[in-house]
Amino acid sequence: MDRQEQIEALLDHFRNPRNRQVIDPVDVTMPGGNPGCGDVVTIYFRATEDGGRLDAASFVGNGCTISQAAASVLMEMVNERRPPLEDILAMDYEDMVDHLGRETVNSRPRCATLALGTLKAAVRRYSRNRLRVEHGLPPEPGGEDEAEEFLV
Ligand code: FES
């Protein structure tokens, strides 16, 4: 894709976001935000019954074109692939920038990776809670502040 095609693809995701909804049932609701601007993306995450893979994910949010388009691109990708949870945790922020179009989003890495950082935080919280429940403990309360600072 050339730069113009990358821009058009991002605009299409921004105007017609994929998986912009609240899934039900959901295992983890994880808010994430870019402290520099206040833009937000909340990720809804559900794992497969055996806890090994993503079963479904969705988002809602408000913010700049790149942050919201990147969330839509990411949700489309993970819902198609339904990757193992460790693969989500291993996803690289640089790959996300490449996937969106480095030329187009390179100056806005925080916008481009807001959704990925939030999805990773959701997966980590899900894994911790699964361990807690296996050991007879209640799930963690809260979790609103654990989306990581994402820097590429
Ligand atoms: Fe806020 Fe892009 S300017 S996430």
Tell me the per-residue pLDDT of 101-114, one tens digit each, with 9 for 90 and over: 999 999 999 999 99
The residue type at 47: A
Question: Which one of 41, 64, 68 would you pick to mutate in the ligand 1 pocket, going by the greatest count of ligand atoms within 8 A of its CB?
Answer: 64
Residue 146 resides in a domain: no
In a domain, residue 88? The reply is yes
Residue 80 maps to a domain: yes
Mutate to test the pocket of ligand 1, among 62, 106, 107, 110 (most ligand atoms within 8 A of CB): 110
Kindly state whether residue 142 falls inside one of the protein's structural domains: no
Residue 141: inside a domain, yes or no? no
Q: What are phi and psi of 41, to 5 degrees?
A: -140, 125
Tell how far the Cα of 37 is from the centroid of ligand 1, in angstroms. Answer: 6
Ligand 1, atom nearest to 37 Cα: 1
| Mean pLDDT (whole number) for 20-32 | 96
Atom number of ligand 1 nearest to Cα 108: 2
Tell me: pLDDT of 33 over 80: yes
In this structure, is residue 90 part of a structural domain?
Answer: yes
Tell me: pLDDT of 73 over 70. yes
Q: Does the CA dihedral 113-117-118-122 come out positive or negative?
A: positive
Predicted TM-score of the model (pTM):
0.92
Residue 61, domain CATH: 3.90.1010.10
Q: Quote the domain boundaries for residue 22.
A: 3-134
Cα separations in angstroms, 45 against 101, 102, 139: 25, 27, 15
Total number of domains in the chain: 1
Question: Distance between CA atoms of 112 and 29, rounded to whole angstroms?
Answer: 20
144 falls in which pLDDT band (50, 70, 90)?
Answer: very low
Q: Does residue 8 lie within any of the structural domains?
A: yes
